[in-house]
DNA sequence: AAGTGGTCTAGACCACGGC
DNA sequence: CCGTGGTCTAGACCACTTG
């Protein structure tokens, strides 16, 4: 097998395996080829195959049983998120089977309030960028997102920001930052005026609030976010497998 | 270094490292020893050290930077759960800094309703065990848990079940099952009569509902659960790190 | 340039499950 | 018993960051 030199070998292996699972070449309930068979087939070492399989197992796509074999997990499609990845809203919407799109609402520069300053480890009153966006699942608005980012991190003019991009792209393109670590708080709350004006359904309805803090390369906070999540339309479900 | 033969070498290594982090021997912001230094110190291969470090990195305890080094994550203590482990309520309460305890409420055998039968992959009307418990954080009731398990899985008399045990123990002791895979749905809802009679706070209050399906060795569902979670007292926060 | 973590190899032995 | 995945070793080279 010839590998293109863009990704690691183990990554290419797990992509092939994922493709085969999606195609139905490996079916739930039937043993997949053993590690040795796969390493022979791909012409890589068994350790490399194991790296690829470990990645699939961690996200619950396959289940591995010592002394027996490796099996496709028949239930994984029931979960919309893996790995506790609650901040990647695009992936969350895709996981629910919808086509995600992002509508840019507003962007503004203003001084940080005390609470924001504390979380972002900046001084109170220091400038922050406040970015408001609305996420759609197919044509329905499902998540109202409010992000606050220290202005000092911005590397390009404020006006140049394309608010409809994936948050990862925004940080890469305009802030030269990479998201390394995230903490998400999940709360139950009721629909307020602001969120209610964008999301469907009545005021006072019970909804989910995801409070996110994103950290960058130096383990410093690079953004906070409050995401109002319409759980009447989107399911927030997490999968976890053990070894 | 002499290793006791009860756990794997890499497990013993990561426990030592965890201990050192807790003791403050490795501090946030200061580079930890390199992989080579650790493998020399412990007298194990670099691959074994990497296995241990990978485990710590996956739960966000350490952060690794290629070309630079490994650092203790200063922010990890802000999360109460890792790995999307939302079904282990005891761990969730501990993660919030409380002492967990479980109060057994009721246990009964009854026919499964249609919905339960569907989820548990059994026939409608087949017997299930319904186990209700209340989880305390210190002395406060914080989670009302309602579990439904197929009666056919039970290996001991119904009366022998100790409802105050950890769910993992219950499955091991009385069902001879191991929890291999779990899917948790998170919903926002309002306090109803049943939950309200156990948890503090008024009816109609906005609270979190965790709907769990647990799968066993054969990838068959072994239990469903509905956990009413008082997020006014407990924080549900998840950490996630990238590589 | 030096040192770090990231990837990969080719071996070895062990623990476990099904036959 | 045999084959499976689980662990471990001792090397090698690469990609990246920092001084």
Alpha-carbon distances of A193 from A107, A113, A196, B34, B232, rounded to whole Å? 19, 21, 5, 52, 22
> Is the CB of residue A73 inside 7 Å of nucleic acid strand C?
no
Q: Is the pLDDT of residue B184 over 60?
A: yes
**How far is B132 from B195, CA to CA, in rounded Å?**
11
Pick out residues whose CB falls under 7 Å from strand D: A 32, 34-37, 46-47, 50, 53, 64-70, 243; B 8-11, 43-48, 51, 65-68
Q: Is the pLDDT of residue A2 over 50?
A: no
Q: Is the pLDDT of residue A154 over 70?
A: yes
Of A6 and A106, the structure prediction assigns the larger pLDDT to A106
* Each residue's pLDDT tens digit, A204-223: 889 999 999 998 877 788 99
Tell me which protein residue sits closest to nucleotide C17, measuring alpha carbon to C1': A67
* Whether B59 contacts chain A with CB within 8 A: no
- Give B3's pLDDT tier (boundaries 50, 70, 90): very low
- The closest CB to that of B84, out of A71, A181, A240, belongs to A240
Domains and CATH numbers, chain B: 9-78 (1.10.10.10), 81-239 (3.40.1410.10)
Q: Is the pLDDT of residue A116 over 90?
A: yes
pLDDT of residue A181: 83
Q: Is the pLDDT of residue A84 over 70?
A: no
Percent of chain B with pLDDT over 90: 49
* Each residue's pLDDT tens digit, B14-71: 999 999 998 899 988 889 999 999 999 999 999 999 999 998 888 888 988 889 999 9
Q: Is the pLDDT of residue A75 over 60?
A: yes
Closest CA to A65 of B7, B172, B180: B180
Q: How far off is chain A from B243, nearest CA to CA, in Å? A: 7
Q: Is the pLDDT of residue A3 over 70?
A: no
| Average per-residue pLDDT for chain A | 88
In terms of Cβ atoms closer than 10 Å to its own Cβ (0-12, 13-18, 19+), residue A143 is buried
| Average per-residue pLDDT for chain B | 88
């Amino acid at each position: 097998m010839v590998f293109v030199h863009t990704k690691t070998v183990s990554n290419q292996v797990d992509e092939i395996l994922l493709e085969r699972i999606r195609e139905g070449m490996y079916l739930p309930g039937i043993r997949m080829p053993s590690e040795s068979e796969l390493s022979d087939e791909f012409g890589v070492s068994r350790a490399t195959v194991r790296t690829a399989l470990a990645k699939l197992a961690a996200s619950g796509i396959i289940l591995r049983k010592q002394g027996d074999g490796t099996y496709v997990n028949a239930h994984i499609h029931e979960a919309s998120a893996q790995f506790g990845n609650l901040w990647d809203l695009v992936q969350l919407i895709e996981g629910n089977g919808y086509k995600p799109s992002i509508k840019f609402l507003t962007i503004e520069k203003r001084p940080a309030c005390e609470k924001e300053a504390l979380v972002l480890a900046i001084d109170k009153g220091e400038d922050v960028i406040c970015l408001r966006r609305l996420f759609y699942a197919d044509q329905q608005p499902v998540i109202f997102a409010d992000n606050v980012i220290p202005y000092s991190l911005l590397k390009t003019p404020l006006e140049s920001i394309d608010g409809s991009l994936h948050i990862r792209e925004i940080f890469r393109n305009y802030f030269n930052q990479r998201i390394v670590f995230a903490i998400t708080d999940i709360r139950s709350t009721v629909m307020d005026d602001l969120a209610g004006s964008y999301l469907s359904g009545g005021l006072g309805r019970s909804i989910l609030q995801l409070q996110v803090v994103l950290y960058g390369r130096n383990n410093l906070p690079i953004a906070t976010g409050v995401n109002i999540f319409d759980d009447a339309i989107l399911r927030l479900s997490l999968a976890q497998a053990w070894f």
